[in-house]
Amino acid sequence: MTGINTKCVQAGYTPKNGEPRVIPIVQSTTFKYDTSEDMGKLFDLEASGYFYTRLQNPTNDYVAAKICALEGGTAAMLTSSGQAASFYSIFNIASCGDHVICSTNVYGGTYNLFAVTVKRMGIDFTFINPDCTDEELNAAFKPNTKAVFGETLANPSLVVFDIERFAKAAHDHGVPLIIDNTFATPINCRPFEFGADIVVHSTTKYMDGHATSVGGCIVDSGKFDWTKYADKFPGLTTPDESYHGITYTEKFGLGGAYITKATAQLMRDLGSIPSPHNAFLLNIGLESLHVRVKRHCENALTVAKFLEKHPNVSWVNYPGLESNKYYKLAQKYLPNGSSGVVSFGVKGGRKNAEAFMKKLKLAAIVTHVADIRTCCLHPASSTHRQMTEEELNDAGVPSDLVRFSVGLEDVEDIISDLEQALN
Ligand X SMILES: *Cc1c(COP(=O)(O)O)cnc(C)c1O
Contact positions vs ligand X (CB under 6 A): 81-83, 86, 107, 109-110, 151, 155, 180, 182-183, 202, 204-205, 214, 216
User: How far apart (Å, rounded) are the C-alpha atoms in residues 55 and 369?
Assistant: 30
**304: helix, strand or coil:** helix
Q: How far apart are CA 23 and CA 118, in angstroms?
A: 36
- Decide whether 83 or 283 has the Cβ nearer to ligand X: 83
Give residue 374's Cα distance to chain centre.
20
Query: What is the nearest approach in angstroms of ligand X to the Cβ of residue 416?
Result: 28
Cβ 368 to ligand X, closest distance in Å? 9
Q: CB nearest ligand X: which residue?
A: 82
Are 134 and 178 contacting, i.e. CB atoms less than 8 angstroms apart? no
* Cα separation, 194 vs 332, whole angstroms: 10
- CB of 95 vs ligand X, minimal distance in Å: 22
CB of 218 to ligand X, least distance (A): 12
For Cα atoms 382, 112, 326, give the angle at the middle one, nearest 5 degrees.
75
CB of 84 to ligand X, least distance (A): 7
Q: Which letter does DSSP use for residue 384 in this model?
A: T
Kindly tell me which of 346 and 377 has the beta carbon lying closer to ligand X.
377
Q: Which residues contact 378 (CB under 8 A, 6 or more apart)?
A: 353, 354, 356, 357, 365, 401, 402, 403
Q: Measured from the CB atom, is 213 or 249 closer to ligand X?
A: 213
> 381, 374, 415, 420: which is closest to 398 by C-alpha?
381
Cβ nearer to ligand X, comparing 166 with 243:
166
Of 23 and 184, CB closest to ligand X: 184
Which amino acid is residue 119, in one-letter code? K
Q: By the 8 A CB rule, do 68 and 75 touch? A: yes
- Inter-residue contact 357 to 377 (CB < 8 Å): no
Q: Which is nearer to ligand X, 12 or 150 (CB)?
A: 150
Minimum Å gap between C-beta 183 and ligand X is: 6
